[in-house]
Amino acid sequence: MWMSVNGSKMAQTGMLHDEHHLSTVNVTDDREACPKHWVAALVQVHSEKSVSKKLQSLGIENWVPTQSEIHQWSDRRKKIERVVIPMVVFIRVENSAIKELTYHSFIHKLLTAPGQRTPAIIPDAQIENLKFMLGQAEAQVEIKDRIFRTGDHVCIVRGPLKGLEGELCKVESGKSMVAVQVDCLGYACISIDKADLVVK
């Protein structure tokens, strides 16, 4: 953003002698200079809402995904806010403040992407989509692990086989079978933890 300053006014102070000259000053919006990003913090079980309140008291923007549900007992009904992602609180801070979050005793750690050591940055659009879903959905929303499909081209990001690429030939609950083609012979297959894979 650029701001124009009237030259004739500046001339009165002796800074400019040309009445028609304009000087420009580069003014940067604080929001542009220090953009905020969403990260996911791992907290103790059943402490999501209390951690959220602590962060709010510190002036730190955060969000605990919840969904309204009606619980029915024999003698009564009660509306509750179910925590959709147990042990996770989303926090929105500037890059320079991300590391400082782990200094708080109530935050266990910040979640990272597979194969990475730095906290994963979650796009604003993904958070907004999740908020919309939770606010409008009539059915229960559940969080599932990354979805892999047979035939996906994947890369192993952890362990002794890190860097190996192949084709996903079998998908199960905890493990996946990765195949590496060997011309004229077929495929060499190995079982790999899904947490150690990314789709290329």
Question: No. of H helices and E strands in the chain?
Answer: 5, 13
Give yes or no for residue 25 having a pLDDT over 80.
no
Residue that has been written with the tokens 């499909």 in this structure? 149
Which residues, listed in sequence order, are joined to residue 99 by a DSSP beta bridge?
none
Q: pTM of the entire structure?
A: 0.66
Tell me phi and psi for residue 18, to 5 degrees.
-90, 115
Q: What is the pLDDT of residues 103-119, one digit of tens each?
A: 999 999 999 987 788 99
Q: Which two tokens stand for residue 32?
A: 């542009």
The pLDDT value recorded for residue 26 is 45
Q: Which two tokens stand for residue 105?
A: 């005793």
The candidate with the shortest Cα–Cα distance to 66, out of 89, 43, 44, is: 89
Give yes or no for residue 7 having a pLDDT over 70.
no
Of the options 3.30.70.940, 3.30.830.10, 3.40.50.720, 3.30.720.210, the CATH number for the domain spanning 34-136: 3.30.70.940
Q: What is the pLDDT of residues 44-57, one digit of tens each?
A: 999 999 999 999 99
The candidate with the shortest Cα–Cα distance to 103, out of 86, 116, 91, is: 91
Give yes or no for residue 158 having a pLDDT over 80.
yes
